[in-house]
Amino acid sequence: MRSAVQSDAGEILTLQRAAFVDEARRDNDFHLPALTQTLRDLEQELQSSTAHVAILGARIVGAVRTRQVEDTLYINRLTVAPDWQGRGVGTALMGAAEREATAKRASLFVRNYGEHSVSDFYSRLGYVPADPGGSAQHAELVRLVKDLTR
């Protein structure tokens, strides 16, 4: 695990596309921002955010990008190589991002897929819906938050 550098951008973009293509197939929507982001856009994003990568040998197998604004850490595009999903890479990346932050809370968005939601992963990490009783239950995107002061 280490901080990402500009020269990682191409490999992170390739990883991102590989990781998000299953979601695109499931939604029949290949215009997801994770799939349409350009290398130039990602390079610019890496200049204005913090990113961590998980390395296996010489290969990046996971990445996460964050941006802290005041007391909130915004987490974006947790990405794990399809052949490494379910092996703790995502958990390790989230832990690294949270430990490095000086924020009081973390916030992220996930797509709502009902009972088999990716939000189950985040729930195990202590994330809860920002509006547990509201209309976000049926929205396409659900905002999850975590108190980082504990």
% residues pLDDT > 90 (the chain): 65
- Pair 112, 104: CB distance under 8 Å: no
For the chain, which domains are there? Answer: 2-147 (3.40.630.30)
pLDDT beyond 90 at 33: no
pLDDT beyond 50 at 137: no
> φ, ψ for residue 118 (rounded to 5)?
-60, -20
Nearest CA among 92, 55, 48, 53 for reference residue 74:
48
Q: At what angle do helices 39-48 and 9-27 cross, to 10 degrees?
A: 110
- Residue 139: per-residue pLDDT: 52
- Pair 145, 136: CB distance under 8 Å: no
Q: How far apart (Å, rounded) are the C-alpha atoms in residues 78 and 110?
A: 10
pLDDT beyond 70 at 38: yes
pLDDT beyond 60 at 115: no
- Residue 26: per-residue pLDDT: 80
- Residue 136: per-residue pLDDT: 47
- Residue 117: per-residue pLDDT: 58
Task: Give 56-83 pLDDT, tens digit per residue.
Answer: 999 999 999 999 999 999 999 999 999 9
**30 pLDDT tier (thresholds 50, 70, 90):** confident
- Residue 6: per-residue pLDDT: 93
